[in-house]
């Protein structure tokens, strides 16, 4: 049978998660999605109304099938963690079983196992504030949504991953180089994510034969990136200064993810793979 993938962090057709889902679907994988609870209704109704049909087209002309969409909020591990104001919030009250533990349980009940786990989500309420002005709350929220969410999801999904399986997350060069504007502790969160990729590769590899890698992607005009406010500048900077002077497409990141998830990458784990037109290799802009 084909492989089964769960992709956490898809709520429209503009981001990396959607592109990764498409590349995996084109390679024959069955697609399950985890969608942030407050974005679920509009995502599902847009899907139903055919709003994404054009972007569901795969290279062979068929449409990507999404087998199931699970509501997910990756900052809550289990029902006991959910505070009253969230539980009773009207954007959450219509959905059930959306904590990390419950989503993994539902996937296990519905399908038994998965082969590929993708983490394509991040959030930092103070991303537009410089680190020097970031509050403790904002910093911890950034780490919770963008870094610990990966640990928690892997913790709960690894037991239902088949040996030889693989997990992939998305990171950004701001973890290791100064990118003014990527604030609120988001640079710290990506540094944690990359370090955790190495440690989790060891633990998940030894215990479950599961590979763990992260893709350091170049700039893309996604919903999340537009919210940061400097995405057009970053795209233009890359086109001017990277070895490959073209705009990066989400599909190029999707294809790299499909490679990492495939048997062609069976010896690759614990790595940060740059998919950024080579920008990370430059020392100065020319
Ligand atoms: P996106 O907006 O398509 O994806 C982010 C997703 O995270 C959204 O669907 C949002 O609903 C979801 N999300 C936020 N908080 C959540 C929570 N608590 N629980 C569950 N889902 C939650 O944007 P994009 O840019 O494709 O982001 C995907 C990943 O790619 C992120 O890790 C981002 O940091 C990374 N990345 C993005 C770059 C860019 O220029 N767009 C560059 C390098 C990395």
Please choose from 14, 145, 218, 222 the residue to mutate so as to test ligand 1's pocket, defined by most ligand atoms within 8 A of CB.
222
Tell whether the model's pLDDT for residue 165 goes beyond 90.
yes
Please choose from 117, 224, 226, 280 the residue to mutate so as to test ligand 1's pocket, defined by most ligand atoms within 8 A of CB.
224
Q: Which atom of ligand 1 is nearest to the CA of 217?
A: 43
Catalytic residue among 70, 139, 172, 274: 172
**What pLDDT score does 101 carry?**
98
**What pLDDT score does 285 carry?**
84
DSSP 220-236: ---HHHHHHS-HHHHHH
Query: 70-100, pLDDT tens digit by residue?
Result: 999 999 999 999 999 999 999 998 999 999 9
Share of the chain above pLDDT 90, in %: 97
Report H helices in the chain.
Answer: 16-26, 37-48, 84-87, 90-93, 100-111, 136-143, 149-157, 186-208, 223-228, 231-241, 250-261
What residues have CB less than 8 Å from 228, skipping those under 6 apart? 127, 128, 181, 182
In this structure, the number of other CB atoms found within 10 A of the CB of residue 52 comes to: 18
CA of 245 to the centre of ligand 1 (A): 25
Please choose from 213, 225, 231, 239 the residue to mutate so as to test ligand 1's pocket, defined by most ligand atoms within 8 A of CB.
225
Query: 198-207, pLDDT tens digit by residue?
Result: 999 999 999 9
CA of 218 to the centre of ligand 1 (A): 13
CA of 128 to the centre of ligand 1 (A): 15
Known active-site residue 172: yes
**What pLDDT score does 140 carry?**
98
Give the chain's mean pLDDT. Answer: 97
ipTM over 0.90: yes
Rg (CA), the chain: 18
CB 158 within 8 A of CB 203: no
The single-letter DSSP state of residue 64 is P
Query: 250-286, pLDDT tens digit by residue?
Result: 999 999 999 999 999 999 999 999 999 999 999 998 8
Supply the pTM of this predicted model.
Answer: 0.98
Known active-site residue 92: no
Confidence of residue 16 (pLDDT cuts 50, 70, 90): very high
**What pLDDT score does 286 carry?**
85
**What pLDDT score does 19 carry?**
98
């Amino acid at each position: 049978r084909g492989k089964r993938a769960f992709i956490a962090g898809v709520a429209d057709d503009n981001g990396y998660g959607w592109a990764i889902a498409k590349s995996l679907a084109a390679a024959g994988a069955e697609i399950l999605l985890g969608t942030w609870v407050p974005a679920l209704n509009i995502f599902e109704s847009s899907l139903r109304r055919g709003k994404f049909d054009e972007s569901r087209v795969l290279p062979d002309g068929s449409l990507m099938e999404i087998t199931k969409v699970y509501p997910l909020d990756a900052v809550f591990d289990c029902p006991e963690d959910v505070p009253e104001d969230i539980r009773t919030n009207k954007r959450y009250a219509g959905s059930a079983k959306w904590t990390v533990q419950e989503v993994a349980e539902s996937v296990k009940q519905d399908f038994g196992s998965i082969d590929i786990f993708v983490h394509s989500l991040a959030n930092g309420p103070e991303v537009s504030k410089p680190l020097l002005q970031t509050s403790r709350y904002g910093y911890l929220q950034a780490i919770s949504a963008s870094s610990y969410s990966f640990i928690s999801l892997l913790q709960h999904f690894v037991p239902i991953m088949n040996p030889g399986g693989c997990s992939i997350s998305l990171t950004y060069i701001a973890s290791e180089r100064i990118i003014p504007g990527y604030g609120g502790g988001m640079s710290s969160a990506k540094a944690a994510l990359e370090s955790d990729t190495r440690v989790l590769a060891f633990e998940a590899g030894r215990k479950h034969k599961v590979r763990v890698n992260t893709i350091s992607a170049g700039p893309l005009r996604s919903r999340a990136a537009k919210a940061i406010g400097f995405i057009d500048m970053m795209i233009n900077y890359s086109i001017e200064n990277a070895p490959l002077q073209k705009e990066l497409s989400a599909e190029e990141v999707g294809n790299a993810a499909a490679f990492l998830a495939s048997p062609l990458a069976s010896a690759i784990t614990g790595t940060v793979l740059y998919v950024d037109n080579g920008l990370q290799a430059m020392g100065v802009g020319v």
